[in-house]
Chain A
């Protein structure tokens, strides 16, 4: 068996501009793209849509070929053995989650309740749905295809996400407060999360991960928040990428920062 230390590098960095779909149907692609654009919206700065988050997600959920980039970003690692088995099983579940998730977004878009899922029935989406549907019929469009998430306005799409998440739309951060929380594990793994949480996490990941994975096109996610990331993963392996200039830039003297040094008797090395 090929050991993990000998995993081959195969393939190449994902092309952000690709419209080739590896897993999603066209409808799923459009729906996921629209939903991620509400999670990380476009304003005077680019959002998930421009950063090609949908490409990132499509590649990831397509199987196990895009799980780990090679260290230098030249391609992707070919998993073997138990790791391959574990990821195959995981991605099988992930595909089902997305497939059902897109159906759920469309169901909510039509103003209907979700009945399946771990969270029990979802509360009805705001009354605009009914109005919308009724309006459509009143206008004699009963033959038109059923409205889906992608056909809604952005405000309507937000209402669907509110219904899906079961919580109000998040409000902006305010200063001047103290907001306690409790302990959590660092790092976020995406296994066994509900669809909405998965979509939010994958949107973040696609917006901010190294561009090799297909999102964060032209590092636009990093530019939005002012992260001066490396030009390539390879640059992080040989000293090319150096963040020293972002440290404290002034002169400093440890004796000023640590007044106690003046009274202690340091032992020489």
Chain B
């Protein structure tokens, strides 16, 4: 089954999510001929998305089908990994920006220099980034404006310098959001609308009519949500330099004798295996699948996986974890909170983000009051499972609950990693990604401290019962993935350089969260997209012109 070999192009981009979408836009707008591959579908938001809870939240319409795209996880080295939908980031055009809640806070200066700040911490593999906040700031601004972010500039007391405000104002507060602001103000906590990947105005001609509150995990049929499917992919197509090949599975990066990548081998929707040649290969599958593709792309030169002479491909994986506390109110006394409203988030804070040694752990978390979601899956952990108690729980508390969540800033540990499962194969017959993970004790302590703090805020807001959700093991419930091909200056201690360029293969770039030496404590997508934009600027304006530039290692 061999189709005619297609013409070579300047760049292939593998994975068309947040970062691949950004790469497609930046590279094609710079005049390069680009083909973008995605193993998943190229849906049409206006035709395919609606507020169907069963379809989106329970039956994996967008999440990867666990039989077709299995993944395995084990929580210690000596156990056999079990199939589990760990970190079910949608594998489709638009990727995670199809389903995300869309918190897009900026990273902090400390996020780029944890090693300098904390030195050697036992069991952690802390590393500084090869760049600093100031290197990324112009690109954070570009993404906020081109992609669309709502927020209030100057509201986040702890935000570093920003060169420009936001293109869109936030939504009005929800009822539980108002409770959150009031409670935070009594406690002296700086609460504000967490910057949100949506617009509420007609920015860039968008049509943000979706006020359904079907948001987190749903596709948005309107122009409200910032999704690369409806923004950067159309921008790239408009250049005439970009082509999408969807439902096409890239199974290997091809290598030439000169030590450079020559393109990719993919399986088209009809099952044909085709080679697409390109001058540059850009990986943006997400830190789990990018690492998997590198490990699958073995060659004589790289028997342990593509660009893996450091042995670090797949290692130092960080995933964040969404932890939270739920508060229940009394439906006979209290006002309803309508937890189903609000495009998921409604107020948050970075008050507890920076290290405070008195807490007994390093790092800290962003927190946010967010939706308790919709009837089938509304968030009440420990809810009675059946009988009169179940019915009363739903009837009495569905509209009388609120939740304050956090993103756990988990620290890198070298043995926390992605590799190839020895037995489980996907629908293409290829070994699947296996996650091996055991949280560092700092992660557990940080989660406990912050969940308890969130419960305290709930009590200040008037909650009459709290349900704290603590970390025992990672489930990948944020779909945040980082670290599996860390960026750095030293080729023995990192896979990529400061441009996301593989130390071992000069025309291979990885522009997703794989390159993050540490996770940052904020939701990573804004940082990833800004970094992808920065790296692709380098590909278009420097590398493709036959030049080399290196950054100077920042002083620590």
Contact surface of A with B, Cβ cutoff 8 Å: 1, 3-5, 38-41, 43, 45, 47, 67-69, 71-73, 81-83, 85-86, 89-90, 158, 161, 165, 169-191, 200, 203-205, 207-210, 212-213, 221-222, 224-227, 229-230, 233-234, 236-239, 241-244, 246-250, 252, 254, 257-261, 264-269
Contact = CB atoms under 8 A, between A and B. Distances in A.
Residue of B44, B55, B474 with most partner-chain A CB within 10 A: B55
B192 interface: yes
Interface string B181-192: 100010000111
Contacts of B376: 204-205, 208-209
B54 A213 contact: yes
22 contacts: A5-B41, A67-B59, A71-B47, A173-B389, A175-B328, A179-B467, A183-B473, A185-B85, A185-B477, A186-B217, A187-B58, A208-B374, A209-B376, A225-B375, A225-B399, A227-B398, A236-B52, A238-B209, A243-B212, A246-B340, A247-B174, A269-B153
B279 interface: no
Contact of B68 (A68, A82, A254): A82
A189 B85 contact: yes
B51 A5 contact: no
Given A4-B41, A178-B455, A266-B152, A184 B381 contact: yes
A170 B384 contact: yes
B556 interface: no
Nearest to A45: B395
A187 B154 contact: no
Contacts of B364: none
A173 B392 CA distance: 8
A243 B375 contact: no
B247 A248 contact: no
Given A82-B427, A241-B212, A242-B211, A261 B173 contact: no
Contacts of B374: 208, 227
Nearest to B48: A71
B342 interface: yes
A59 to B, nearest CB: 12
Nearest to A212: B52
A41 B387 contact: yes
B154 A266 contact: yes
A187 B63 contact: yes
B221 interface: yes
A71 B165 contact: no
Contacts of A204: 376
Contact of B269 (A1, A40, A209, A254): A1
A71 B50 contact: yes
B301 interface: no
Interface in B417-471: 427, 455, 464-471
Nearest to A252: B173
A264 B155 contact: yes
Contacts of B476: 185
Chain B interface main SS type: loop
A5 B246 contact: yes
A192 to B, nearest CB: 9
B397 A173 contact: yes
Given A178-B466, A189-B60, A237 B221 contact: yes
B136 interface: no
A269 B164 contact: yes
A246 B222 CA distance: 20
A193 to B, nearest CB: 12
Contacts of A239: 209-211, 222
A3 B269 contact: yes
B384 A172 contact: yes
B375 A221 contact: yes
Contacts of B157: 260, 264
A103 B473 CA distance: 37
B387 A69 contact: no
A81 B321 CA distance: 33
Contact of B385 (A183, A200, A254): A200
A209 to B, nearest CB: 4
A257 B181 contact: yes
A82 B246 CA distance: 14
Interface string B32-71: 0000000011111011111111110111110101111000
B60 A183 contact: no
B477 A184 contact: yes
A50 to B, nearest CB: 12
B393 A173 contact: yes
Interface in B189-211: 190-192, 209-211
Given A71-B50, A264-B154, A183 B246 contact: no
Nearest to B158: A260
Contacts of A205: 54, 58, 376
A153 to B, nearest CB: 15
A183 B468 contact: no
B214 A236 contact: yes
Contacts of A200: 385-386
A260 B156 CA distance: 8
Interface string B139-182: 00000000000001111010000111111000111110110010
B309 interface: no
Interface string B367-403: 0000000111101011111111111111111110000
A261 B210 CA distance: 28
B270 interface: yes
Contacts of B52: 69, 71, 73, 209-210, 212, 233, 236
A101 B355 CA distance: 53
B377 A187 contact: yes
Contacts of B163: 267
Contact of A266 (B153, B217, B375, B385): B153
Contacts of A72: 50
A86 B68 contact: yes
